[in-house]
Structure 1
């Protein structure tokens, strides 16, 4: 008799994850799923795609609870530095490789599959960004991460400018370093310290804009990601070092109103991170002058009317462009948008040319 072994279907796997993990999950897991758009189908996809990683990380996940006491000690130190500290709940979850930690209201949400990874974790199947993150991590990093996210639960919401978001993110790194007494060794901090003078000048031009794709939340698109975190950290550290009342300095950093552009700019000035007095209007103008623009469309030749039979559109930009792209569909939405995809970028006579279908 021949016995054929039937492999479980995708729907069966999804139902198992849904029943045994999602449905039984904590409030924190549900909040993390909503914050990072996780679902059972995604976990099945990731388990199938990265089997070596999941086998490798399991041991670290199971060891995470041993850090609970150290985390509690650090939070008590945080309370001494900042007596106004409000209580928050901490949840450890196994997420979908999109975040090592975030917050929702008064909840710290830790993605243990990223947060507990270290140099010994098998990341050969993963992205360059995650491999770079893991090589700088150690089990004790988990303590600093929890303090970092706890700081965010105490802050006011982020502002819209790149400067406000950078200080908001970097401030938590700095306060965490004060609390734990351990230097942040994340990939962006290590690189930032090595290249601070260069980054400082580039940051100065960009910081009053709302464009932050070169600095924040860009792990999937650049080699050295999230350098805006380091710049915010450096500004907060400079502010702290230049204040005589250190406890008040901590309070100022945590309670900065990021929605108030004037207050954020005043904080930057008081930090003395830049020796010269900065003019936001002039810097923003310089930033805008440096932005790429379309020099010529080869297909429509700058006509006001376009032939409806046109099947390809080629644009020439003023400078070489990277692989990233962003498309706005307009009022009609995707269903009424004529462009179906991007062929790619080509270099022609020192220009960057992008073709669309």
Structure 2
């Protein structure tokens, strides 16, 4: 899932030790690494400065000495000491709330460990890049790629309580969703010219596989907001699916105004494909390796409003 909301990218790893030791241990175990050291260093600085670190302190004492994942996150999303300081001054409560969200990380890690092991069990070709949870400038929630792994902004994901009010559940399921994006075909998920259908299937595949491995979809609000309206929503989707203007369907959620209905339609198309497949393991490979949206749709058996248990 891309977030920003152009890539709500979030993922988790399985060890919260020093980055180098954690990476070595995880590599031996065949598991991804999760590095939360940047969060700890940020809040050490935050406490030392009574919640008012300067831009210079944030750059020198937090960003410059951060993990490789934090450096990648900063480079990809223009996270600087100045940007963090400006957001902290504008939205101080977000960083107070994020510190409380830290309490959910240990149990989140345990559950994600099980989820990612299930991914490997169901999809042995899974890539296992590192995940970094850090503190950023309020957005995006995260970024993900097969080359650089997953980076999550603690304060950004913490603020999205409209997705799922339970902090631990939100972290587990959103991270599972984002980890699926790492597995997908780069040429399919990284294009800037995707149609509504292609974008919906990209996100829908991450929703479906994420649910398969973690027990629930990431964007739980869509399950409730669409109930009883499936046929109307999906009939409209059919009309728009070849458009390249995504604004009515994808990456249009805002606090107090949840959107992203394309995620849910894509999820239902993918679920129909999986349900109708005789060979579920091959179906999962098809879903993760999806390249041709129109062909996939035709083979799915999906129809607007169809019942999918």
- TM-score of Structure 1 vs Structure 2, range by shorter chain: 0.7 to 0.9
Q: Deviations over 1:270-298 (max 9, x none)?
A: 1111279xxxxxxxxxxxxxxxxxxxxxx
Q: CA deviation at 1:48?
A: 0.9
Aligned partner of 2:208 in structure 1 is: 174
Q: Do residues 244 (structure 1) and 278 (structure 2) align?
A: yes
Count matched residues: 249
Matching of residues 28-107 of structure 1 within 5 Å: 28-106=69-147, 107=149
Q: CA deviation at 1:194?
A: 4.7
Aligned partner of 2:8 in structure 1 is: none
Structure 1: which 4+ aligned runs deviate by more than 4 Å? none
Change (3 A) 1:178 1:36: same
Matching of residues 1-357 of structure 1 within 5 Å: 13-106=54-147, 107-117=149-159, 130=160, 132-133=162-163, 136-157=165-186, 158=189, 159=191, 160-220=194-254, 223-257=257-291, 263-274=292-303
The answer on whether the counterparts of 2:203 and 2:266 sit within 8 Å (CA) in structure 1 is: yes
Change (3 A) 1:137 1:192: farther
Q: CA deviation at 1:219?
A: 2.6
The answer on whether the counterparts of 2:112 and 2:214 sit within 8 Å (CA) in structure 1 is: no
The answer on whether the counterparts of 1:101 and 1:145 sit within 8 Å (CA) in structure 2 is: no
Q: Deviations over 1:22-51 (max 9, x none)?
A: 111111112222332222222111111122
Q: CA deviation at 1:137?
A: 3.9
With a CA cutoff of 8 Å and minimum separation of 6, indicate the structure with the bigger relative contact order. 2
SS of corresponding position for 1:240: helix
Change (3 A) 1:14 1:202: same
Q: Deviations over 1:96-154 (max 9, x none)?
A: 2223232033301122213345xxxxxxxxxxxx4633x53431222222221111111
TM-score normalised per structure 1 = 0.64
Q: Unmatched 5+ residue regions in structure 1?
A: 1-7, 118-129, 258-262, 277-357
TM-score normalised per structure 2 = 0.73
Structure whose CA Rg is larger: 1
SS of corresponding position for 1:139: helix
